[in-house]
A and B are shown apart, each in its own frame.
Chain A
Amino acid sequence: MSTTGGQMEAMLAVEGLSMVFGGLRAVNNVSFNVRRGEVYTLIGPNGAGKTTIFNAISRIYRSSSGRIVFDGEDLARRSQHEIAALGIARTFQNIELFEHATVLENLLIGRHVHGTTRLWQELVFAPAVRQQEVAFRESVEKVIDFLDLAHYRDARVAGLPYGVRKVVELARALAVEPKLLLLDEPSSGLNVEETDDMAFWIHDIRRNLGITVLMVEHDMTLVSRVSDRVLALNQGELVAEGTPAEVQNHPGVIEAYLGTAVQGRA
């Protein structure tokens, strides 16, 4: 799968990113580029700083130092709610859906950045609002079709099983029609079959929808199946970067997961 050339344009550039919480250095001077059209994966043991990097990109946290540039724009100047309009959508590690709304409503909320109607038009449900609602539904319906959610379309999220909620969250991020999709542990809590589906979807998202994917993932089978490049982190430090196979066999990565061999023991 790692056939993409090395000369492609960087869509997201993270330069010397550091995140300090009090005395804790969660991310220390990490740099990487995500190229347009690739699937780029962050791996690393718990507490390596993967989700922290995600939260820095989506501006939930302010980075302590370093720059994050997306499509030539410095994200430091943007606030949390302006990120989606730039074309970055994300999912969360512990599913953050709108629990008391239906699947359809959740996806429609994903279309929010594409809305152009004004409050007074909405109060009278002007024709412009009606047209926009129909257009929203058309694009949302495509996502529902793509991820096979038709069965759950009008179900409330609060009553859905975990695996489905995970897909709904992916669907909501796709409804934004992003250029870059951040997936925070897309396979966590899913069974083998569901993980398999997820792998196919990530593959299709990249190939058919042309969306660049940056993800955090623990399941190495999934990682090697879909990723073009992998970045390994340990305790906030960059350990290795390369193709999935390269990174998996990197001594630093093995050490990070399994620890160093203790000298003097047979």
Chain B
Amino acid sequence: MRFVFKTAYAQDLGLFAHGVQAAWYAALAVALVVVPWLLSPYLVSQLTFVLIYSIVALGLMLLSGYTGQISLGHAAFLAVGAYTEAVLAAKGWPFPLSMAMAALLAGAVGVIVGTPALRVKGIYLAIATMAFNIIVEEVLARWESVTGGGSGLQVGPLAMFGWTVRDERGMYYVALATAALVTLAVVNLLRSPTGRAFVAVRDSEISAASMGIPAARFKAISFALSAAITGIAGALYAHQLRIVTPDQFTVLQSIEMLMMVVIGGLGSVHGAFFGAAFVIVLPQAIAVAKDYLPPAIGQATGLQPALFGLILVGFILFEPLGLYGRWVKTRTYFQLFPFYRRGMFRRQKAFMKSERLR
């Protein structure tokens, strides 16, 4: 068990709680830099996918986990980012510029969609964003002069300032750097007034307003930032797959994105990474397991969605804090060994839960 004695406010503001934690993150950073030299190109490209999905999950975490707004249309923002990148890369824009443009455009679309959509709450917001996703899908399929219609667009290799990324390793490093920067930005935001305003809007709009926080404005900011981050992921996604087609950005993809943040753990930055890793690893694990299962189960159609659904239900029932919650509990177990109690994280009843003025 470690006790951190705080003697300066700077300690409260730091990225890491204490030196040991900083050392662990440094070790993780080293491992992430070294790992592509140890793995096969296939595994490296899978890791790149994890990183790209983590960026998406970070964006959605900001919106759903921290601001409490659901979105079933985030695949559309991924599409805006990916198509922007495809078009601009073909015109020879260097990657940092085209990615910034992808983020900007996705963010702008986020504002346009978010402003009216965020007037509604909960399930209605889910429906509105889902409708938006379907509209974008249609536009991508029909606006052939720009998007190439149903057959989509080919995307060249990622290139910037005379450097062209030709192998999995290069792509991995670009994704790693981008993910690190996005994470830093999100963490910075969360320890600033805006991030706290998001949490305030999530937990109680009425008292947020009485603290001088306009809910509508901060929901729109959150939606725009979330969309922009997803747009950044979209730009990477386009280069990773080397092709963009409308059927990569369906509502099903949006649902998978939402699953990432729920399984990862709503309201935690770690959760975004855990969720992304989970969503990438599970289908692989299922593919491997198929060979060992009796054919009646292994060859059944819809095995993967069924398992995903089961796991999601399981998490909601037994571990609402997701993989992050599991992680915290495991860590606490070892920190306190042998004094961990089972009931340590049990949620307490909230007495006199307020009747909200809605």
Binding site for B on A (CB under 8 A): 55, 58, 60, 79-85, 89-90, 92, 94-101, 105, 108-113, 115, 117, 119, 122-125, 129-130, 132-134, 137-138, 158-159, 161-162, 172, 176, 189
Contact = CB atoms under 8 A, between A and B. Distances in A.
Contacts of A110: 211
Contact of A81 (B209, B347, B357): B209
Find the residue from B195, B206, B211, B355 having the highest chain A CB count within 10 A: B211
Contact of B192 (A84, A89, A113, A133): A133
A134 B193 contact: no
Contact of A100 (B188, B191, B212, B267): B267
Interface stretch (B52-60, B70-78, B197-205, B293-301): B197-205
Contacts, number: 128
Contact of A129 (B192, B197, B204): B192
A18 to B, nearest CB: 20
B3 interface: no
12 contacts: A58-B210, A60-B209, A60-B357, A98-B208, A100-B199, A108-B196, A109-B196, A109-B197, A122-B192, A124-B188, A133-B191, A137-B9
Contact of B213 (A112, A117, A158): A112
Contacts of A96: 204, 206-207, 210, 354, 356
Residue with the highest number of chain A CB atoms closer than 10 Å, among B12, B207, B354:
B207
Contacts of B209: 60, 80-81
A134 B189 CA distance: 16
A252 to B, nearest CB: 30
Contacts of A123: 185, 188-189
Interface string B21-43: 00000000000000000000000
Contact of A122 (B194, B199, B213): B194
B122 interface: no
B1 interface: no
A113 B211 contact: yes
> What band does the interface of chain B fall in when counting residues whose beta carbon is under 8 Å from A?
35 or more
Given A97-B207, A98-B202, A123-B188, 7 more contacts: A58-B210, A97-B203, A98-B200, A100-B267, A113-B212, A115-B193, A129-B188
Chain B CB count within 10 A is highest, among A92, A96, A129, for: A96
Contacts of B192: 117, 122, 125, 129, 133
Contacts of B357: 55, 60
Contacts of B193: 108, 111-112, 115, 117, 122, 132
A55 to B, nearest CB: 7
B10 A101 contact: no
Contact of A158 (B10, B189, B347, B356): B347
A69 to B, nearest CB: 19
B310 interface: no
B292 interface: no
Contacts of A98: 199-200, 202-204, 207-208
B225 to A, nearest CB: 8
Nearest to B266: A100
A144 to B, nearest CB: 13
B313 interface: no
Contacts of A94: 352, 354-355
Given A100-B199, A134-B13, A112 B348 contact: no
A122 B214 contact: no
Contacts of B191: 125, 133
Contacts of B285: none
A162 B352 contact: yes
A204 B193 CA distance: 29
Contacts of B356: 96
Contact of A105 (B196, B213, B354): B196
A58, A122, A138, A189: residue with the most chain B Cβ atoms closer than 10 Å:
A122
Contacts of B352: 94-95, 162, 189
Contacts of A115: 193
Nearest to A132: B193
B357 to A, nearest CB: 6
A60 to B, nearest CB: 6
7 closest pairs, A vs B, by CB? A84-B212, A94-B354, A122-B192, A96-B207, A98-B203, A113-B212, A125-B188
A99 B185 contact: no
Contacts of B215: 81
Contact of A138 (B9, B211, B213, B221): B9
A115 B348 CA distance: 33
B2 to A, nearest CB: 14
B5 interface: no
